[in-house]
Amino acid sequence: MKLWVVFWCTMRQMVNQVQSPKMFIQELDFYYGSVRALSSISIGILERQVTALIGPSGCGKTTFLRCLNRMNDTIPNTRLEGKVYLDGEDIYHPSVDVVDLRQRIGMVFQKPNPFPQSVFDNVAFGPRVLGLTREREELDAIVERSLQRAALWEEVKDHLNTDAMELSLGEQQRLCIARVLAVEPEVILMDEPTSALDPIATMQIEGLMRDLSERYTIVVVTHNMQQAARVSDKTGLFWLGELVEFNDTAMIFTRPKEQRTEAYITGRVG
């Protein structure tokens, strides 16, 4: 290996070790009415890494994910305690504009949810609403760039006016990712983004997640443990509203420290 490659890898490793988290969650509790769904979650999410959240159904992982861009604000009779920081700023501070926040922290859902519009309009929607540009050429460039980053450009470049609903489910999900990318987010939250997709489309999305992590910070909730093992740098196991263990993915899947992690990932729960 060339010397400069070794040097670059070493430097990158050092930077990774000392970098402060992109998001920092401190002592987070979340309540649905009087029911506590999350208990005292503290976690640091590193920039340009894929962080996977796993755990049995109802363990709180999706609730936690939705706390990260205040999606739970829309649910009545809920309450959050603790802090969620993005680049050191408390995202629950009254001065924070939630629309701006959700531009910085985008979300991709379980089922692809394109608008019943053309492929182009789906991707252009965010930049238009947010007024990112008024120039047609610039908008074209944003749409192309977003579709390229979502690995969909080659498939749709000649059909940008096609109704998005005519795309396959896998293409629709990549379109939804392109729609998120179009507003230049910093963090992308993904809530079981492949659970509605076939294995080929799933592998494409997983490859895309790895590629996107060179530019964006990704947090993904998944029921598929092998997916967490394949795509993530860090993995956290949630259990009954608690974060049981959070560590490098390789460690979680080969040498977990907690018995509950061992039981869950080896399928010996219950």
Residue with Cβ nearer other proteins (14 or 269)? 269
- Is 229 a residue that touches other proteins (CB under 8 A)? yes
Choosing from 225, 231, 243, 244, the residue that interacts with other proteins (CB under 8 A) is 225
- Is 226 a residue that touches other proteins (CB under 8 A)? yes
Choosing from 14, 94, 256, 260, the residue that interacts with other proteins (CB under 8 A) is 256
Residue 97: both structure tokens together: 């504009």
Q: What is the CA radius of gyration of the chain?
A: 19
- Is 268 a residue that touches other proteins (CB under 8 A)? yes
3-state secondary structure of 31: strand
Question: Shortest gap between Cβ of 141 and other proteins (angstroms)?
Answer: 42
- Is 253 a residue that touches other proteins (CB under 8 A)? yes
- Torsion angle in degrees (nearest 10) through CA of 44, 45, 47, 51: 150
Kindly provide the residue ranges of all beta strands, DSSP E only, lying in 18-138, ordered along the sequence. 23-32, 35-45, 50-54, 78-86, 89-90, 105-108
Contact 114, 157 (CB under 8 A): no
Question: Shortest gap between Cβ of 154 and other proteins (angstroms)?
Answer: 31
Bridge partner list, 161: none
- Is 266 a residue that touches other proteins (CB under 8 A)? yes
Question: Shortest gap between Cβ of 257 and other proteins (angstroms)?
Answer: 9
- The residues binding other proteins (CB under 8 A) are 225-226, 229, 253-256, 261-262, 265-268
